């Protein structure tokens, strides 16, 4: 809970890409990009998505509209500074490019955002990474058109201004944030998500859910001191427009999440998950996220030997959505007192059949943990290899995510994060 600002904010902002949604939408990208008058297009994807043939089909479609299209398949799932630099160097060496098409999960979309930024603006990658990890510079030049084509239901990166990466030397996950990174067009084709394995559906789906829950419970935009126009940032706090998207996303997940994990061939469930991911992205991309996402960055960045089901087996990783989910029940237990009515409403939307407990602060955490068990997620950060001895380093890493923590509905100290992380070692 924050004190009443002396000069309270009365303005909130809202931004979103143009959106094309529905079965077969990805077959129209050639026409869509043709409206921008581009000639050379780089399609950015990862090896797993490339193996489905979708990126190649899109590149061939672009060629049919008079564009020269090339496919870059070197995206790393959960991008690092090294993998982004490799993609940037490829684009610089093979460019110039008039536009970019990202086909894949958040990893491909975020990589394309970084490539677009560093092939149009001067400087190096770390110059633009959020402070205090990086220089926090804003782009000084316009970016090229970026079309985002998600093939996973989760990240919402097709709607947002954020590029997330691991900085390997620092063992921290962080990001680049600026309105110019937002794609000009999001093409959401549920048909492209049908190949998503159950483990990916579960982890990425928790990212959808936490996007919606965190933005819905974020600090209200009116609780900030009024900003000057040049001070406004994409994450402005919970607001009426973002709230609408978040509520609808939670309701869609209640109808579809367990089914999509259990039966990946259920077309209706896949479509609802894709719509939920889009709605949640339109919400959190403006309101912001807070404690679960701040905790997720060091949880993913300091992984030792955890190998999740459904993801590439070569390297250990904690998928982003899983990392976010593992402290969410405890985070929402902590934030309950700031906005009880919002936490109760979120729990009712997510599981309308759940009975209210005597201790209302347990309502949303209880609904969340039951869902996590049902879809096969680890039962806490202990399930991905962390012990109590790791908590201080994790808390320190989370405290570096001040851009996110400033959106929490109550002030957060390192001691608060330590308690949340400790209680999250075993959720059940």
In tens, the pLDDT along 72-90 reads 999 998 899 999 999 999 9
DSSP string, 187-233: EE-GGGGTT--HHHHHHHHHHHHHHHHHHHTSPBGGGSBPPPGGG--
Mean pLDDT score, 303-315: 90
What is the tens place of the pLDDT at every residue in 385-425? 999 999 999 999 999 888 899 999 999 999 999 999 999 99
What is the tens place of the pLDDT at every residue in 235-271? 899 999 999 999 999 999 999 999 999 999 999 999 9
Cα–Cα distance measured from residue 313 to residue 207, given in angstroms and rounded to the nearest whole number: 21
Q: Give 132 or 121, the one with higher predicted confidence.
A: 121
Cα–Cα distance measured from residue 140 to residue 117, given in angstroms and rounded to the nearest whole number: 10
Which among 176, 168, 20, 34 has a CA at the least distance from the CA of 113? 176
Residue with tokens 């909130």: 12
pLDDT of residue 172: 78
Question: Model confidence at 17, in pLDDT bands (50, 70, 90)?
Answer: very high
pLDDT of residue 392: 98
Mean pLDDT score, 282-303: 94
What is the tens place of the pLDDT at every residue in 182-226? 999 999 999 998 888 999 999 999 999 999 999 999 999 999 999
CB 314 within 8 A of CB 338: no
Tokens of 15: 């931004």
Orientation of helix 328-335 relative to helix 363-374, angle to 10°: 170
pLDDT of residue 312: 84
Question: Model confidence at 55, in pLDDT bands (50, 70, 90)?
Answer: very high
pTM: 0.91
- What is the strand order of the sheet 146-150 is part of? 18-21, 185-188, 146-150, 99-104, 40-44, 68-72
Question: Model confidence at 141, in pLDDT bands (50, 70, 90)?
Answer: very high
Q: Indicate whether 20 pLDDT > 80.
A: yes
pLDDT of residue 170: 84
Q: Indicate whether 2 pLDDT > 80.
A: no
What integer best gives the mean pLDDT of the chain?
95
Apex 96 CA angle, 148 and 101, nearest 5: 10
pLDDT of residue 314: 81
CB 202 within 8 A of CB 213: no
- Bridge partners of 173, per DSSP, are 166
Q: Indicate whether 149 pLDDT > 90.
A: yes
What is the tens place of the pLDDT at every residue in 337-396? 999 999 999 999 999 999 999 999 999 999 999 999 999 999 999 999 999 999 999 999
Cα–Cα distance measured from residue 33 to residue 157, given in angstroms and rounded to the nearest whole number: 19
Mean pLDDT score, 314-330: 94
């Amino acid at each position: 809970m924050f004190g009443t600002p002396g000069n309270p904010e009365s303005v909130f902002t809202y931004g979103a890409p143009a959106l094309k949604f529905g079965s077969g939408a990805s077959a129209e990208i050639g026409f869509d990009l043709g409206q921008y008058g581009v000639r050379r297009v780089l399609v950015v994807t990862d090896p797993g998505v490339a193996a489905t043939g979708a990126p190649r089909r899109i590149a061939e479609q672009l060629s049919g509209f008079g564009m020269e299209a090339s496919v870059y398949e070197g995206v790393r799932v959960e991008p690092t500074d090294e993998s982004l630099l490799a993609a940037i160097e490829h684009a610089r060496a093979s460019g110039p490019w008039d536009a970019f098409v990202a086909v894949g999960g958040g990893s491909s979309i975020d990589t394309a955002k970084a490539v677009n930024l560093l092939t149009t603006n001067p400087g190096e990658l770390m110059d633009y990474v959020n402070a205090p990890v990086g220089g926090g510079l804003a782009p000084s030049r316009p970016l090229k058109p970026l079309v985002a084509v998600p093939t996973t239901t989760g990240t919402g990166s097709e709607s947002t201004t954020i590029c997330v990466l691991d900085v390997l030397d620092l063992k921290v996950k962080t990001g680049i944030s600026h309105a110019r990174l937002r794609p000009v067009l999001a093409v959401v084709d549920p048909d492209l998500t049908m190949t998503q394995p159950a483990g990916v559906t579960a982890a990425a789906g928790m990212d959808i859910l936490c996007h919606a829950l965190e933005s819905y419970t974020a600090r209200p935009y009116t609780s900030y001191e009024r900003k000057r126009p040049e001070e406004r940032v994409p994450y402005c706090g919970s607001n009426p427009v973002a709230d609408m998207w978040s509520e609808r996303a939670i309701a869609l997940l209640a109808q579809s999440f367990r089914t999509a994990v259990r039966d990946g061939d259920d077309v209706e469930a896949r479509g609802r998950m894709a719509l939920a991911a889009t709605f949640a992205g339109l919400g959190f991309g403006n309101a912001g996220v807070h404690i679960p996402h701040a905790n997720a960055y060091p949880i993913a960045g300091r992984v030792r030997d955890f190998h999740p089901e459904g993801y590439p087996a070569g390297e250990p990783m904690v998928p982003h959505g899983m990392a976010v989910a593992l402290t969410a029940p405890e985070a929402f237990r902590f934030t309950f007192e700031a906005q009880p009515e919002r936490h109760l409403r979120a729990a009712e939307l997510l599981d309308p059949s759940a009975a209210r407990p005597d201790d209302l602060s347990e309502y949303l955490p209880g609904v969340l943990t039951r869902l996590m068990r049902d879809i096969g997620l680890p039962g806490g950060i202990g399930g991905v290899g962390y012990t109590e001895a790791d908590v201080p380093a994790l808390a320190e890493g989370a405290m570096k995510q001040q851009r996110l923590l400033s959106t929490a509905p109550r002030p957060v100290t390192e001691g608060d994060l330590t308690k949340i992380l400790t209680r999250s070692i075993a959720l059940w």
